[in-house]
């Protein structure tokens, strides 16, 4: 328990060990730890950046979505309007066409009526002529009354 | 102990507390405790060497388990130092704290080895009669460490504050600059400078030495018979488990005090 030379030898050993640690043990590990800290910090920063970008992208995509919805609504409205227009137009066309057909039919009918009347008149003329001819056959010379007959025929026609 | 034919409590304890000495010169001072020196150097090389082996291949990527362990240790020490010392700790103070903690812890841990088995091994394997395997139960070790810190303290005082600054601090703190107070200040500071290494070293020495004495007393109890052996085994186990705490705590306290003293030397009052 007495103080002796051991003290000095221990102090020397102590200083050697401190020197060794200062020189060889502490710096490499500190370097490694600091390097890792930097890497982790970088990674975290990158993650943060990615998160921000994601946020931005989602914001943008929602905006785009909103716009698209708006456009779709517009298009639908337009289409509906157009459809109504088309229907209206078709109705108009149909009406015009119907009127046209009606007019045509009327004209045809008129024409038919006129033709029938004409035919009837002709037949009546023929009949009258034939009747007149039969009546006059005996007393009237065809040659003499030819111009009379022709005038009657003309009148009837 | 085989050579101790007459085994008395006195001879038993004396045997365990006697260093292997060798004389290196004239007079009582020039004596070397070979066991203390050899054990502490072996343990220091073991501790620092294994740290070095791990640290040599340290990678910033995914660490191996060993590297992770060393990193835990170093970051633990670094945190403690950072909280106390506010300079560039990486150049000296933090590595010194690591050295102190690891070395003192290993030296203290030798206390957990069963004393009589170790004595038998030293006696019969190495042929050494007196060999104390706990260097921190040698007051020379703790004084060597505390005085080294003390000299470092003075060195850093001079380096950071200069001779004038240090003298100013010696004479003008803590009570004031008034010349009447100079002797009082100086007395106060001298007492502080004397008490620091004393308390620093004797705290460690006392704790570990007392621990060893308890083990010795339990060992003596074991010599009284079967009941004594039984109880000394149980109590010895209990004391050893408790001693794990003391050993670590004392190493930690010793390191913390060193860091505190060194940071006080760096800072002006």
Which residues is B25 bridged to in the sheet? none
Q: Does B44 sit within 8 Å of A17, measured CB to CB? A: yes
Residue-range domain boundaries for chain A: 26-156
- Yes or no: say if B192 and B181 are a contact pair by the CB < 8 Å rule: no
- Yes or no: say if B19 and B36 are a contact pair by the CB < 8 Å rule: yes
Q: Which residues of B are catalytic?
A: 199, 203, 207
A84 pLDDT band, cuts 50/70/90, is: very high
* Nearest C-alpha in A relative to B21: A6
* Nearest C-alpha in B relative to A36: B60
Residue-range domain boundaries for chain B: 9-266
Q: Reply yes or no on whether the pLDDT at B10 is more than 90.
A: no
Q: Give whole-number Cα distances, B74 to A3, B64, B183, in Å.
A: 33, 15, 43
Segment A65-88 mean pLDDT = 96
The encoded tokens of residue B66 equal: 């060993």
Q: Please classify residue A65 by burial: count the beta carbons closer than 10 Å to its beta carbon, then call 0-12 exposed, 13-18 middle and 19+ buried.
A: exposed
Residue with tokens 């009918």, as numbered in its chain:
A109
Segment B4-30 mean pLDDT = 79
pLDDT given for residue B148 in this prediction: 93
Least Cα separation, residue B221 to chain A (angstroms): 25
B1 pLDDT band, cuts 50/70/90, is: very low
Please report the ipTM that was assigned to this predicted complex.
Answer: 0.85
> Residue B31 in 3-state DSSP?
strand
Mutate to test the interface with B, among A14, A15, A23 (most CBs of B within 10 A): A14
Max avg pLDDT among A148-157, B31-40, B252-261: B252-261
Partner residue facing A25 (CB), from B41, B95, B143: B95
A121 pLDDT band, cuts 50/70/90, is: confident
What percent of chain B lies above the pLDDT cut of 70? 97
- Spatial neighbors of B29 by CB under 8 A, at least 6 apart, are A3, A4, A5
Q: Does B52 sit within 8 Å of A33, measured CB to CB? A: no
- Yes or no: say if B59 and A32 are a contact pair by the CB < 8 Å rule: yes
Least Cα separation, residue A38 to chain B (angstroms): 9
Q: Where are the beta strands (DSSP E) in chain B?
A: 21-23, 31-33
Estimate the crossing angle of helix B93-109 against helix B182-222, to 10 degrees: 30
Residue range B151-206, pLDDT digits in tens: 999 999 999 888 988 888 888 878 888 888 888 989 999 999 999 999 999 999 99
Chain B residues close to A42, C-beta within 8 Å: none
CB atoms within 10 A of CB A116: 10
Least Cα separation, residue A12 to chain B (angstroms): 9
Q: Does B148 sit within 8 Å of A11, measured CB to CB? A: yes
Chain B residues close to A41, C-beta within 8 Å: none
pLDDT given for residue A12 in this prediction: 92
Helix (H) or strand (E) holding A132: helix A26-136
Residue range B206-246, pLDDT digits in tens: 999 999 999 988 888 888 888 888 988 899 999 999 999 99
Mean pLDDT of chain B: 88
**pTM exceeds 0.80 for this model:** no
Q: Give the span between the Cα atoms of B40 and B24, in whole angstroms.
A: 19
pLDDT given for residue B2 in this prediction: 43
Mutate to test the interface with A, among B78, B140, B212 (most CBs of A within 10 A): B140
């Amino acid at each position: 328990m007495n103080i002796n030379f051991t003290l000095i030898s221990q102090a020397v050993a102590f200083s050697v060990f401190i020197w060794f640690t200062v020189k060889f043990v502490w710096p490499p590990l500190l370097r490694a730890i600091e390097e890792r800290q930097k890497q982790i910090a970088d990674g975290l920063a990158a993650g943060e950046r990615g998160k921000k970008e994601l946020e931005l992208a989602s914001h943008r995509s929602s905006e785009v979505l909103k716009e698209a919805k708006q456009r779709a609504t517009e298009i639908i409205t337009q289409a509906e309007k157009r459809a109504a227009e088309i229907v209206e137009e078709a109705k108009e066309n149909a009406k015009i066409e119907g009127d046209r057909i009606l007019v045509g039919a009327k004209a045809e009918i008129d024409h038919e009526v006129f033709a029938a009347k004409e035919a009837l008149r002709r037949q009546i003329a023929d009949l009258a002529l034939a009747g007149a001819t039969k009546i006059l056959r005996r007393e009237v010379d065809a040659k003499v009354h030819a111009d009379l007959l022709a005038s009657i025929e003309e009148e009837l026609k | 102990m085989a050579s101790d034919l007459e085994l008395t409590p006195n001879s038993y304890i004396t045997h365990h507390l006697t260093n292997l000495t060798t004389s290196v010169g004239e007079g009582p001072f020039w004596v070397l405790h070979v066991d203390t020196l050899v054990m502490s150097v072996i343990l220091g090389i073991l501790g620092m060497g294994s740290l070095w082996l791990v640290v040599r291949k340290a990678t910033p990527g995914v660490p191996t388990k060993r590297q992770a362990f060393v990193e835990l240790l170093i970051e633990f020490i670094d945190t403690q130092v950072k909280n106390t010392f506010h300079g560039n700790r990486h150049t000296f103070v933090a590595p010194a704290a690591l050295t102190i903690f690891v070395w003192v812890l290993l030296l203290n841990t030798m206390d957990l080895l069963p004393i009589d088995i170790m004595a038998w091994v030293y006696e019969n394997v190495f042929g050494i009669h007196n060999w104390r395997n706990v260097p921190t139960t040698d007051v020379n070790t703790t004084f060597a460490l505390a005085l080294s810190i003390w000299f470092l303290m003075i060195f850093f005082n001079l380096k950071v504050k200069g001779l004038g600054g240090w003298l100013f601090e010696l004479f003008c703190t803590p009570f004031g600059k008034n010349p009447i107070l100079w002797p009082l200040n100086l007395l106060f500071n001298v007492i502080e400078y004397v008490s620091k290494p004393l308390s620093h070293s004797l705290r460690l020495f006392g704790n570990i030495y007392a621990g060893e004495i308890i083990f010795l007393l339990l060992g003596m109890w074991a010599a009284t018979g079967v009941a004594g052996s039984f109880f000394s085994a149980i109590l010895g186990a209990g004391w050893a488990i408790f001693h794990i705490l003391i050993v670590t705590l004392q190493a930690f306290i010793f390191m913390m005090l060193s860091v505190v003293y060194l940071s006080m030397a760096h800072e002006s009052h």
